[in-house]
Amino acid sequence: MNPAQAVQRFAHARVARLATVREDGSPHLVPFVFELRGDNIYAVVDDKPKRTQNVMRVANIRRDPRVSVLVDHYEEAWGKLWWIRADGEARLVEEGEDRDFVIRVLTGKYPQYLEQPPSGPAIVIHVTQWRFWPQG
């Protein structure tokens, strides 16, 4: 896979894993839905069942914006395995036109948001580095 193919596969994935850094320096990993546009990954804290909108990923990003996002594919035929990781810096957008833009972008990929619009903060991740395997 070359860099362009890696980014294309990443963009077409329906779910990824978001890694943030906890206060004690340990990783915090959660699945999330997203949209990739250029060098930015867009997500939002939505209203799927959660104990609170003040989820750990939000607190972690507020304190330390460094994040990693992983998309992977597994098959029993190991020659078909691949993974792609986007490392970057995240920021939270709690209101206004920028948050509205994120919701519009996500609704294009996940029409479920039309029926249940997200109420939490948007997350914008600026990708600073792509890593992937296999390289070829």
Number of domains in the chain: 1
Q: Supply the pTM of this predicted model.
A: 0.92
Residue 52 pLDDT more than 60?
no
Closest by Cα among 96, 108, 123 to 40: 123
CATH code at position 12: 2.30.110.10
Per-residue pLDDT of 80-117, as tens digits, reads 899 999 999 999 999 999 999 999 999 999 999 999 88
Both tokens assigned to 56: 């750990």
Residue 76 sits at φ, ψ, to 5 deg, of -65, -30
Q: Give me the numbers of helices (H) and strands (E) for the chain, helices first please.
A: 4, 7
Closest by Cα among 115, 110, 118, 108 to 47: 118
Span 37-54, average pLDDT: 78
Element (H, E) at 73: strand 66-73
- At residue 55 the predicted structure's pLDDT band, cuts being 50, 70 and 90, is confident
Q: Show the domain range for 11.
A: 3-133
